[in-house]
Structure formats: C-alpha cells, structure tokens
C-alpha cells in the first residue's frame, strides 16, 4: 500500500471537474484536506487548519464525533440499502419521528431528499401539487428574492437571485418573480444582530402579489438569513410581515433553512429563533452534521393531509429519490440529534454568540472592511471591492488565511464565517486575528 501522501501527489488532478471552483487555479496549487477532528482539518501537507466554516456550513457538531462515526459504521454493516418506494426501513421512521418532535408549530411531516437543492425542488413541487389537489391549480407562480440562494436545481436557481448562478442556464422555470433583497448598507452597516431598517421591503411582496393576483401564486421562498450570498440578516419585523402577507392570500411560505437549521442561530431552527413558522421548511447540511448526504422538507400536517385522499392503494405524491431516507443517512441523523442534545450544541451556540459578535465587530476599521454582520454563529465581513477586480481581495484573503492555517469562505467580496457550534473563544480569537493580520497586507 503506497503511503497516502505519495498517492496524493501522484494523483492526476485533471479528470475531476470541481464544483464551484476555479479549477485551473486550484489544480496549479491544490488545497487538499485529508483528515478532520473536532474543530480542525489536516491538510495534505500535514498542517492543522482551523475550520471557520463548518466545512460548507454543515458540520455543526464538529468533525469526527465518535458517536456519529460509530452509528454510520454500524449501520453500514447491518443494512446497506433498502428500496425507498413502496418499502421502508425502521430508521427512516424513527428519524422522521425524532425530527417531527423538534419542529415548531404545525410542521410535523418529513420528506427526505439527499441535498438542499433537492429539498428546494421538492418543496416547490409539493406546493404546486398541494394547490392542484385542493382545486386551486391556477396557483403556479413562485416568488423568490434577489440574492437568494436555493441550491442549483432548475427550481432553486429560478427562485434564487444570484446572477452568476442563473445567467448561463436559459429561461429556467416560468412564472417566477423576485422580491428585492434586504441588503441596505447605507442604513444598516455594522449592525450587531438584526438591522433596524428594512421591514418595509416586505411590502414589495404585496405589490408583486397584486400584480399577478394572489390566485396565481403557489409559494414564497426565502432564506430566513441569506447565507451564501454573503450573510444578509433579516431586518426586524421583515419575516413577520412576509408571514402575514402570505397567510392573508393563501400563499405557502417556505423557509429555506439549509444553513440556519440545526442550531446555527443558537435555536433548533430560524423559525424558532424569529418566532415565525412557515408552511414548509427545507433543510440539509446540519441534519447529519455533514457526515452523510441528506436533505429534507418539513411540511405542515394539513399539507400532507390534503394529499391523503383517493383510493388507499394510490400513490399520493409522484415524487421521491432512490436515496430518500438512505439507511446510512438516517443512522447518521439520529446519532447527530443525540449528539446535539447530549453535548448541548445549540445552547453552546447561543451562549458563545455574543462573544462571536464582539470579536467580529472588532474588525471595524481594519483596512478594506466596509461592513460587518452577524447572527448566531454566522458572520459576514464585507470588503470594499478592488476597482475593476471584483472578488480578488476576498479570494486573496481566503488563500492567505489557508496558508496561515484557518479555513474561511468567501463569496463575492464578502468573508462568510460559520464555524462548528463547538467552537471555543480562543478559536474565535484566532480566526479574527488571522483576518486582522491579513487584510492590511492585501492590496
């Protein structure tokens, strides 16, 4: 058996077409991660790298938690796979019951997917089918939001509002409109937590609904906190208004909680944190702490009940994935929920959030920084764009931070941070001081 490092260096980099990556830059200068434990990765050149991003906003319980590892290993030996259609296996039911018990309001049904993108497409399809089954089949439009990120399926990019994710891919879904985003640095720059200004932006939904007529609109989808676009925190009162307007017009409200779900804000879900319960929620990532791919749609009981008509032997919803509720993912998910509870991860996130906030905001005044935003264990540091070179400053910061042993993430010219919920104060200090050291050295 060749030693691992020799294997990595002789690997051919070319066949792998990497996702959302500058392939040529990467392959000229690879950044490979080979091990992970707790708050740290190990790089292929043997360095410890502090994880400031929970992988990709997903490893909320930290890396390599022994309970989760053991559950996956055990299940792999017991049963690899069971058909997902017209058959079942106990763990899928057990996990759904556990999830259902922790959901807010009248959300209590679980439809499994394998990713956030699939969860979004699933929720959109459920919304369309729900209205049709109820005899309101004219409700076919969706309303998303500028700068929204809902994954990369055709449904997700249609309701999403990130230009680069849309412009290459044709007309996408028909009948989609977008509300304005909530980023308002003139009024809200350097706000700690939720911004004061901007609740009135939700009134745009009323305008759009009036334009198309409520009877044509199936659902509104938003991220309660927009993550991948660069951390946009909802203004105070904004989500409440969206809830009010959608309810008034019989429109379903979908919260995309792929990032905010499972403790990121110091509460189980953003719906709990904000006290606003949607009709459906999409999740992924933290549902298994990133260990096995899984996503889900959580739906209100009355949505499910609406489908439970017709003959008993008829399939009620013609939708699902081969790997919906995969045994390894369910085993990982159940163990993850145990770990979150036993190790108090959500509570820890809430407890350390004020320290996180003050540490991030200490970067105010650092070269290039034009705004800092935070909520729970999410942070956004916006840099002034280098004239004519969008994204360059943030990307160079990312590369230098990696060299210094800290993994951060950037989107546009925004540094987006989302560490595992087990982060300690000294590790927060290290992330912040690394960024503070690097920024003055960047052009």
Ligand X SMILES: Cc1ncc(COP(=O)(O)O)c(C=O)c1O
Binding of ligand X at residue 258 (CB under 6 A)?
yes
Q: Which of 176, 202, 284, 303 binds ligand X (CB under 6 A)?
A: 284
Strand 369-375 relative to strand 378-383, pairing: antiparallel
Positions in 346-365 near ligand X (CB under 6 A)? none
Which residues on adjacent β-strands are paired with residue 371? 382
* 255 binding ligand X? (CB under 6 A): no
By CB under 6 A, residue 115 contacts ligand X: yes
CB of 327 to ligand X, least distance (A): 19
Of 110, 45, 79, the closest CA to residue 281 belongs to 110
Structure tokens at 85: 């259609």
The stretch among 109-117, 237-245, 302-310, 316-324 that binds ligand X (CB under 6 A) is: 109-117
- Planar angle of CA 360, 148, 432, nearest 5 degrees: 15
Residue 392 · residue 417 · CB < 8 Å: no
Q: Does 228 contact ligand X by CB under 6 A?
A: yes
CB 279 within 8 A of CB 304: no
Q: Report the first-to-last Cα separation within the chain, whole angstroms.
A: 46
How far apart are CB 228 and ligand X at their closest, in Å? 5
Nearer to ligand X, 108 or 256 (CB): 256
Report which DSSP code applies to 305: H
111 sits near ligand X (criterion: CB under 6 A): no
Residue number, 139 or 145, with CB nearest to ligand X: 145
Position 298 contacts ligand X (CB under 6 A): no
CB nearer to ligand X: give 59 or 284.
284
Residue with tokens 């939904």: 205
Q: Which is nearer to ligand X, 62 or 161 (CB)?
A: 161
Interface pattern 61-100 for ligand X (x via CB under 6 A): ----------------------------------------
Distance between CA 252 and CA 247 in Å, rounded?
7
Structure tokens at 12: 């051919």
b (16+ CB within 10 A) / e for 240-260: ebbbebbeebebbbbbbbbbb
# chain residues binding ligand X, by CB under 6 A? 14
Under 8 Å CB-to-CB from 108, ≥6 apart: which residues? 100, 298, 300, 301
Report in angstroms the alpha-carbon separations of 395 from 21, 210, 269, 300, 410: 12, 42, 30, 41, 7
Rounded least distance, CB 181 to ligand X, Å: 14
CB of 259 to ligand X, least distance (A): 4
The answer to whether residue 161 forms part of the interface with ligand X (CB under 6 A) is: no
Q: State which of residues 117, 289, 291, 411 lies at the interface with ligand X (CB under 6 A).
A: 117
User: CB-hemisphere CA count at 13 Å for 302?
Assistant: 7
CB of 20 to ligand X, least distance (A): 9
Least Cα distance to 428 among 363, 335, 369 occurs for 363
Distance CA 423, CA 222 (A): 28
The smaller minimum CB distance to ligand X, of residues 150 and 373, is found at: 150
Task: State the CB neighbour count (10 A cutoff) for residue 439.
Answer: 20
Distance, in Å, from the CA atom of 367 to the CA atom of 436, rounded to the nearest integer, reads 9
Residue numbers 25-44 binding ligand X by CB under 6 A:
none
Min CB(351)–ligand X separation in Å: 25
List the one residue from 40, 95, 142, 149 that touches ligand X (CB under 6 A): 149
Region for residue 210 given its phi and psi (left: phi exceeds 0; alpha: psi -120 to 50; beta: otherwise): alpha
Stretch that binds ligand X, among 22-30, 43-51, 113-121, 418-426 (CB under 6 A): 113-121
Minimum CB–partner distance for residue 57 and ligand X (Å) = 6
Using the minimum distance from each CB to ligand X, give the nearer residue, 120 or 375. Answer: 120
Q: How far is the CB of 147 from ligand X (least distance, A)?
A: 11
Whether 91 and 330 have beta carbons less than 8 Å apart is answered as yes
Starting at the edge strand found earlier in the chain, the sheet holding 414-417 runs: 369-375, 378-383, 414-417, 409-411
51, 108, 121, 223: residue in contact with ligand X (rule CB under 6 A):
223
418 lies in the binding site for ligand X (CB under 6 A): no
Closest CA to 432 of 43, 32, 50: 50
Residue from the set 51, 121, 177, 256 that interacts with ligand X by CB under 6 A: 256
Which CB, 151 or 235, lies closer to ligand X? Answer: 151
Site for ligand X (CB under 6 A): which residue of 62, 116, 290, 327? 116
Smallest separation, CB 258 to ligand X (Å): 3
Q: Which residues bind ligand X (CB under 6 A)?
A: 115-117, 120, 149-151, 223, 227-228, 256, 258-259, 284
């Amino acid at each position: 058996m060749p030693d691992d490092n020799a294997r990595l260096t002789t690997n051919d980099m070319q066949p792998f077409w990497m996702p959302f990556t500058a392939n040529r830059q990467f392959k000229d200068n690879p950044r490979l991660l080979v091990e992970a434990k707790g708050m740290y990765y190990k790089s292929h050149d043997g360095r410890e790298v502090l994880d400031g991003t929970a992988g990709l906003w997903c490893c909320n319980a930290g890396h390599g938690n022994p309970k989760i590892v053991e559950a996956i290993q055990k299940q792999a030996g017991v049963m690899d796979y069971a058909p997902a259609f017209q058959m079942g296996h106990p763990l899928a039911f057990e996990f759904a019951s556990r999830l259902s018990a922790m959901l807010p309001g009248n959300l209590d049904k679980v439809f499994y997917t394998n990713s956030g993108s699939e969860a979004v497409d699933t929720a959109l399809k459920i919304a369309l089918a729900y209205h049709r089954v109820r005899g309101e089949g004219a409700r076919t439009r969706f309303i998303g939001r500028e700068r929204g990120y809902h994954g990369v399926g055709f449904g997700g990019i249609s309701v999403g509002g990130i230009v680069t994710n849309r412009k290459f891919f044709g007309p996408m879904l028909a009948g989609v409109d977008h509300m304005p985003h909530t980023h308002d640095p003139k009024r809200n720059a350097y706000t700690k937590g939720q911004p004061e200004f901007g609740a009135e932006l939700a009134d745009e939904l009323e305008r759009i609904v009036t334009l198309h007529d409520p009877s044509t609109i199936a659902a509104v989808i938003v991220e309660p906190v927009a993550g991948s676009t660069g951390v946009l925190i909802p203004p105070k009162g904004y989500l409440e208004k969206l809830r009010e307007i959608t309810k008034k017009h019989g429109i379903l409200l979908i919260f995309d909680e792929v990032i905010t779900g499972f403790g990121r804000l110091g509460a189980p879900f953003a719906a709990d944190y904000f006290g606003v319960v949607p009709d459906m929620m999409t999740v992924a990532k933290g549902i298994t702490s990133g260990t096995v791919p899984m996503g889900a749609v959580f739906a209100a009981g009355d949505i499910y009940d609406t489908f439970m008509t017709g003959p008993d032997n008829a399939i009620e919803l013609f939708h699902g994935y081969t790997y919906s509720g995969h045994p390894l993912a369910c085993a990982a998910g159940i163990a993850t929920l145990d770990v979150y509870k036993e190790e108090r991860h959500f509570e820890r996130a809430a407890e350390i959030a004020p320290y996180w906030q003050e540490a991030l905001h200490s970067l105010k005044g650092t070269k290039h920084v034009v705004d800092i935003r935070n909520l729970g264990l999410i942070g956004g540091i916006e840099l002034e764009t280098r004239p004519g070179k969008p994204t360059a400053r943030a990307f160079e910061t990312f590369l230098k931070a990696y060299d210094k042993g800290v993994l951060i993430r950037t989107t546009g010219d925004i540094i987006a941070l989302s560490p595992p919920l087990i982060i300690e104060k000294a590790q927060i200090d290290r992330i912040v001081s690394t960024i503070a050291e690097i920024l003055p050295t960047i052009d």
